[in-house]
Amino acid sequence: MRFLTKLRRSIGLVFVLVMLSVSLANASATLLLEEPYGKLGFFTATGHVAVYLSGVCAETPLVLRQCAPGELGAVISRYNGVGSYDWVAIPLIPYLYGVDHVDDIPLFADPKMVAFLRDQYRRKHLEAVAPDLDGGVAPGGNWYELVGSAYDRADYAFEIETSATQDQAFIQRYNSAPNRAQFRTVSRNCADFAKDVINFYYPKALHRSVVADVAITTPKQMAKTMVKFSSRHPELQFSRYVIPQVPGSAARSTAVHGVVESFFKSKKYIVPSAVVSPVFAGCVAAVYVGTSAAHFDPARQAQVYNADRALEPPVGAEDRRSFQTQLNHLVSGELSEANGSYGEKKLARMMSKASPAFDSDGRPILRMLIADHVVNVGVAQGNIFFTQSSGQFAAQILEARLREELRRGNPPKVSENDVEHDMMLLQKALSPAESELALRSARMQAGTQSPWTSAADRQ
């Protein structure tokens, strides 16, 4: 009997070790197609592209190494105006959110908080590529693009399987080669760099389009050819997902286009062209209609990324409407759906008058002046209930976050579990008796089973 018990334990141990070795051996290269935003997005809608390597980590922003167990890898990208360097590598979570830990990600961010997180991360980790100017002033240039990308825009991720052997070869190549700035908009842009990285792993996987993008390498074309390559190689595990833009008061990013597509869909370009030369405008239209890249939808069949959960499908339209109804009742009618945007603007004004800082655990907070007293309020999941007086402000943050998550439009913003999680946080921020009564009222009015069941209902 003891022999059989020992045998079962030995087999179990071997199985665990085998599964562990398989999980450690797994690696991937993910093309990150990033939407355009701000003033640059007004003039060109091609966006940006970077590569996330799950098995390659950043010893420093300029030195690569293989990841240790539990590390998430790094995003490597080319930006113009980041010191004198051609590429910089940033760990995944800081690249997306400007913090080191998932619990430190703000639930709702304003531009002042984003700028604070970026500068604090730069001072701690990026002095080698973006050192202080005289007097401790933050430098100019595009270094800020390396930190907190998800505050500015949504990312579409296209992940393909790689190997540890490929990662090691990549590390040796890029650590030994010169890392000097070579950015040129037409011939050595961010998409050219991403193409070179992916093609290092899988030669000739990505290529530019001479017709659709007038021979300029573009982010959208790289994503399209990445999907096409994966379809030709089903033996390589492939997945696609969306990294949503963090809810906040900054403008939402816009759809990414190719060169001809961007020209054709922009009235500021195509209308004057049609007036001056109808033949030219007609040729642009013909190229747009005839190229498949223009009709490539990066959000098609995409899952939703969450930094502390597995990939999940986006919330459906019917569930989204049900969640919106519950949210309106949960806040006890203080802000109806019609004036929800007013509540978000009011919150943004409050946050803009506050001073961002860190609490004793290094998590972001806001120092707000309330009734002639300075009050520290948490804004991240790890400290949203920082003090007993945080409930009302926490409720405002969570309501604004949920309204943004449940707003219609592409790309997908949230999964069902994400909404349920934020709903429970909001319920905690509100009066328990009041929130439970509102929730029951919403269900009675809807007359259907809710996609979200409270803890009390499950007992």
pLDDT of residue 118: 96
pLDDT of residue 219: 92
Structural domain includes residue 6: no
What is the H or E stretch that residue 370 is in?
strand 364-370
pLDDT of residue 340: 54
With 60 as the cut, is the pLDDT of residue 450 above it? no
Structural domain includes residue 9: no
Count of domains in the chain? 2
Instruction: Specify whether 329 is located in the same domain as 435.
Output: yes
Strand partners of residue 368 = 375
Mean pLDDT of 76-99: 93
For residues 116 and 255, give the distance between their C-alpha atoms in angstroms, rounded to a whole number.
Answer: 27
**Which of 254, 270, 303 delimits the end of a domain?**
303
pLDDT of residue 370: 73
pLDDT of residue 259: 55
pLDDT of residue 126: 93
**Which of 303, 321, 355 delimits the end of a domain?**
303
pLDDT of residue 205: 96
Closest alpha carbon to 253 in 12, 33, 34, 2 = 34
Instruction: Specify whether 112 is located in the same domain as 66.
Output: yes
Question: 375: which 2 tokens?
Answer: 């009050």
Structural domain includes residue 16: no
Q: What is the pLDDT of residues 174-202, one digit of tens each?
A: 999 999 887 776 678 899 999 999 999 99
Structural domain includes residue 191: yes
Instruction: Specify whether 277 is located in the same domain as 195.
Output: yes
Instruction: Specify whether 235 is located in the same domain as 193.
Output: yes
Q: What is the pLDDT of residues 394-444, one digit of tens each?
A: 889 999 999 999 998 889 999 999 999 999 999 888 865 444 444 455 445
Q: Express as a percent the part of the chain with pLDDT over 70.
A: 73
With 70 as the cut, is the pLDDT of residue 70 above it? yes
Q: What is the pLDDT of residues 121-139, one digit of tens each?
A: 999 999 989 998 888 888 8
Which range is least confidently modeled, 18-32, 37-51, 63-77? 18-32
* Average model confidence (pLDDT) across the chain: 80
pLDDT of residue 341: 60
With 80 as the cut, is the pLDDT of residue 89 above it? yes
Instruction: Specify whether 281 is located in the same domain as 176.
Output: yes
At position 159, the amino acid (one-letter code) is E
pLDDT of residue 358: 94
pLDDT of residue 44: 62
For residues 106 and 386, give the distance between their C-alpha atoms in angstroms, rounded to a whole number.
Answer: 13
Instruction: Specify whether 296 is located in the same domain as 342.
Output: no
Q: Provide the 3-class DSSP secondary structure of residue 415.
A: strand
Structural domain includes residue 5: no
Which range is least confidently modeled, 6-20, 86-100, 361-375? 6-20
With 50 as the cut, is the pLDDT of residue 270 above it? no
With 80 as the cut, is the pLDDT of residue 233 above it? yes
Strands, sheet with 238-243, edge to edge from the N-terminal-most edge strand: 88-91, 74-77, 48-53, 27-34, 155-162, 238-243, 303-306, 309-312
Instruction: Specify whether 335 is located in the same domain as 293.
Output: no
pLDDT of residue 42: 42
pLDDT of residue 208: 81
Which residue blocks in 331-448 are alpha helix, DSSP H? 340-353, 391-405, 416-429, 432-446
Contact predicate 173/119, CB 8 Å: no
Structural domain includes residue 189: yes
341 or 268: which leads in pLDDT: 341
The string of DSSP codes covering 105-141 is SBSSB-HHHHHHHHHHHHHHH-TTTS---GGGPPP-S
Instruction: Specify whether 154 is located in the same domain as 100.
Output: yes
Instruction: Specify whether 222 is located in the same domain as 272.
Output: yes
Strand pairing report for 303-306 and 373-378: unpaired
Domain that holds residue 170: 27-303
For residues 149 and 97, give the distance between their C-alpha atoms in angstroms, rounded to a whole number.
Answer: 7
Instruction: Specify whether 273 is located in the same domain as 361.
Output: no
Q: How confident is the model at residue 142 (pLDDT cuts 50, 70, 90)?
A: confident
Contact predicate 102/308, CB 8 Å: yes
Strand partners of residue 358 = 364
pLDDT of residue 135: 81
With 90 as the cut, is the pLDDT of residue 79 above it? no
pLDDT of residue 213: 62
With 80 as the cut, is the pLDDT of residue 272 above it? no
> CA distances (Å), 36 to each of 57, 65, 154, 214, 381, in order?
27, 31, 9, 20, 28
pLDDT of residue 214: 60
Instruction: Specify whether 348 is located in the same domain as 422.
Output: yes
Instruction: Specify whether 228 is located in the same domain as 137.
Output: yes
Structural domain includes residue 308: no
> CA distances (Å), 386 to each of 100, 350, 366, 427, in order?
19, 18, 11, 16
pLDDT of residue 76: 97
Sign of CA dihedral 126, 128, 130, 135: positive
Question: 456: which 2 tokens?
Answer: 């009390």
Q: What is the pLDDT of residues 234-260, one digit of tens each?
A: 999 999 999 999 999 999 999 887 655
Structural domain includes residue 55: yes
**Which of 281, 303, 325 delimits the end of a domain?**
303
Q: How confident is the model at residue 152 (pLDDT cuts 50, 70, 90)?
A: very high
Question: 348: which 2 tokens?
Answer: 């943004």
Q: Express as a percent the part of the chain with pLDDT over 90.
A: 52
With 80 as the cut, is the pLDDT of residue 159 above it? yes
